[in-house]
Amino acid sequence: MSRETILALAALPQDLRDALAAEYDVLGAEDAAASDTRIAVTTGMVGADAAAMAARPGLRLIASMGVGLDKIDLGAARARGIAVSHTPDELTEDVADFAIGLIYAATRRIAEADRFVRAGRWMRGRMSPGTSLYRKRAGVVGLGRIGAAIARRAAGIGMEVGWTGPRPKPEAPWPYHPDVAALAEWADVLILATPGGAETRHMVDARALAALGPRGVLVNIARGSVVDEAALLEALEGGGIAAAGLDVFASEPGLDPRFLALENAALAPHYASLTHETRAAIIARMLRDIAAFRAGGTFFDAAA
């Protein structure tokens, strides 16, 4: 099979670019020759809109790195006969691990403790107490692959688990709450694992944060758009909630500088899935899906 050209619709991580370049000619969106490509590669954070598809009438596959599809216009892809592959399974366990890490970071103040020691403040006294997690309530928003993996881990560390989502799942072993505000009122820690997009935009607003309350903790490994950041900053600065562990923001990487001054916020650079193992699995999945498309084989098509 001849060497094919692949269009990069986003700035690709070097490991992915190197893996693609070993088998394909990779062109940027600005390259004139890229207009004739059948295959495009993007990331979940950049996606592909209808205009990008219309500009490339020969496009037949968009391979996206990541689980999120909210930045890809699936309707436009479907209408144009463009298949969309992504990597929904490969990062589940590592993202769930990181969510639990952020819970500990926010409640047991791990990042803050590190700063306390490095600044020499331990020589002058002890840190004030953190918050125990044992027997506390973990409310998971979105019980998909990642949300269910988080719920299992939270139960395993002695937390009581509840959840909410678009519809009840009778097979789920944890109680369902009718909406985010109701779950937030019940929970001690509210963990966001829901997809992004218009339907979930600002799902966690001032009302939900007020329901979580001054002893509550918010953890977000979903999308920054799920949270009303202005309301979150006000709650963190004014004691409306106790703390937050955040891996995603409304504007990345240029997050609101007010977050940087908050001792009660553990901040991460959209890092939950970045392990050696998950990176290798994601890249292998993308290469398999592209090869299957070229060979006329089967692969999961999110636009089908």
Q: If you ran DSSP here, which 8-state letter would residue 181 be given?
A: H
Q: Residue 271's beta-bridge partner residues?
A: none
Q: Which member of 86, 223, 279, 285 is catalytic?
A: 223
Rounded to whole angstroms, the Cα distance separating 125 from 194 reads 41
H/E run at residue 294: helix 276-295
What are the residues whose beta carbons fall under 8 Å from the beta carbon of 166, sequence distance 6 or more? none
Q: Is 118 helix (H, G, I), strand (E, B) or coil?
A: helix
**Active-site option among 38, 78, 202, 270:** 270
User: In tens digits, what is the pLDDT along the chain, a chain of 304 residues?
Assistant: 468 999 999 999 999 999 999 999 999 988 867 778 999 999 988 999 999 999 999 999 999 998 889 899 999 999 999 999 999 889 999 999 999 999 999 999 999 999 999 999 999 999 999 999 999 999 999 999 999 999 999 999 999 999 999 999 999 999 999 999 999 999 999 999 999 988 999 999 999 999 999 999 999 999 999 999 999 999 999 999 999 999 999 999 999 999 999 999 999 999 999 999 999 999 999 999 999 999 999 999 999 9
* Catalytic residue list contains 86: no
Active site residue 223: yes
H runs (alpha helix) in 55-179: 74-80, 92-107, 110-118, 145-156
Q: Which whole-number Å values give the CA distances from 148 to 44, 110, 154, in the listed order?
A: 21, 25, 10
200, 68 contact by CB (below 8 A): no
For 206-212, which contacts have Cβ atoms below 8 Å and span 24 or more sequence positions?
A: 206/231, 206/234, 206/235, 207/181, 208/180, 208/181, 208/184, 209/184, 209/235, 209/240, 209/241, 210/235, 210/240, 211/181, 211/182, 211/184, 211/185, 212/184, 212/185, 212/187, 212/241
| pTM of the full structure | 0.90
| Backbone φ and ψ of 192, nearest 5° | -95, 120
296 Ramachandran zone, left/alpha/beta (phi>0; psi -120 to 50)? left
CA 56 – CA 189 distance, rounded (Å)? 45
Determine which one of 4, 237, 252, 277 is catalytic.
Answer: 252
Enter the tokens of residue 195. 């997809």
Residue 270 a catalytic site member: yes
